[in-house]
Amino acid sequence: MANIRLISSSSVCAANHKKPNLRIDLTPWDLQLFLVDSIQKGLLFHKPKPPDNEELENTNFNSIINHLKTSLSRTLDFFPPLSGRFATTEHDDNTVSFFIDCNNAGAEFIHAVAEGVSIADIIEPIYVPKIVYSFFPLNGVRNHEGTSKPLLAVQVTELVDGIFIGCTINHTVADGSSFWHFFNSWSEISRGLNCLSKPPLLQRWFVRNTDCPVRIPLLTNEQLYNRFVPPLLQQRVFHFTRENIAKLKAKANAEIGTNKISSLQALLSHFWRSAIRNKHLDPNEEINYRMLIGARQRLQAQLQAEYFGNAVQTGTVAMKAGEVVEKGLGYVALQMNKMVAVHTEEKLMNFLKSWTDSPKLITMDSVVTNALVTSSSPRFNIYGNDFGWGKPIAVRSGPGNKFDGKITVFPGEEEGSVDIEACLSPETLQGMANDADLMEAVIN
């Protein structure tokens, strides 16, 4: 498949930088992500049609690029952290603290062309083609590099008949909710809105009596430069309709005589069971399912939906491989339900307090041991991102934080449907493709 040709690269700053001295201290939720990769998500669109239905000339596409740059600049007025950089303060006790210096150093904007690549080349293959990773900027850049690298980078890649807008945001600055809040806001400004429907709340939230800034031990060279190298992996997007998800939910609840199990818990349990069946593990081997649990709705008195930053907690279900396979969908989903339920306000607050006393940074090596890890959410507003030429037709993620077992959940294009982007070994994915129990619920 064709390579990517770079057309231009430039820095985009906020159009009206009103808070040049704004400093934003980082919370434990933010700081724990310093050693992993950025968030990388992107949207695929049909190429806009000119009014006269003639072929879209380069000059016309350049006007689209200029429009996106201008609207991005105006959007950064509302999101000053994204045009800033990290700054550090070293302390006498061999600790360091970090904050976002909203200095308007600028976001990166790249215009590229994937010559000969069409929309069909991206969405029709069974496995996500590797060229998709080339649609994202700042590949291989980890969050701690935000002292010198942009905290936001955008790449607009022109296809034969489409446009892919790939966005990379430093994960220490934003979680998935904040990522899509920014993306939604940019599309609003691009459509001509003068103000945002949901302005972000920029002030970081800390547990009462937290010493700010939060200090962490000085980072060692081994921590900064040790790179996780995943094995050979492939990605496939599995599509589940609203009707099939409802059937899974009904089945899970019926098996254990309850109505507690949610649609998402039933779906993820169904998917986990298939993955474990096709990994052919020792039945007595302990395995984990980890998922990111949103804290905004669990700390409603302190956090609003528009809170801009990280507000997620990792929850883990630990079971033996044999239990996952043999005990049924309902049993597995119930364990997931119990795990989510224990993440109360008290548990979240205790985590933040204890982390401040004893900071522990997440590394890829610590995440990937015998685990499936789910990120993102089917509740994010992905298909509402209309930049002025129609809604997207697909969403894909970049290479950041990918390993054998990374499961990314997106809303499907049809209301109530869900897409699961699974990053697994080729052998596991092939086994799942032949798994009748799984594929009965999948729309190819």
Query: Is 386 annotated as catalytic?
Result: yes
Residues 6+ apart with CB under 8 A from 52: none
pLDDT in 10s for each residue of the chain, 444 residues: 568 999 999 999 999 987 778 999 999 999 999 999 999 999 999 998 765 545 555 557 899 999 999 999 999 999 999 999 999 999 999 999 999 999 999 999 999 999 999 999 999 999 999 999 999 999 999 999 999 999 999 999 999 999 999 999 999 999 999 999 999 999 999 999 988 999 999 999 999 989 999 999 998 888 888 877 777 899 999 999 999 999 999 999 999 999 999 999 999 999 999 999 999 899 999 999 999 999 999 997 889 999 999 999 999 999 999 999 999 999 999 999 999 999 999 999 999 999 999 999 998 876 666 789 999 999 999 999 999 999 999 999 999 999 999 999 999 999 999 999 999 999 999 999 999 999 999 976
Active-site residue, from 17, 25, 46, 386: 386
Task: Report the C-alpha gap between 301 and 406 in whole angstroms.
Answer: 32
Question: Hey, is 427 helix, strand or coil?
Answer: helix
Active-site residue, from 111, 144, 171, 181: 171
DSSP secondary structure letters along 263-279: HHHHHHHHHHHHHHHTT
pLDDT at position 58, please? 55
Query: CA Rg, the chain, in Å?
Result: 22
Residues 6+ apart with CB under 8 A from 135: 4, 42, 112, 114, 155, 157, 164, 166, 396, 398
Could you give the domains of the chain?
Answer: 4-225 (3.30.559.10), 234-439 (3.30.559.10)
pTM of the model: 0.95
Residues 6+ apart with CB under 8 A from 127: 234, 235, 236, 429
Query: Is 52 annotated as catalytic?
Result: no
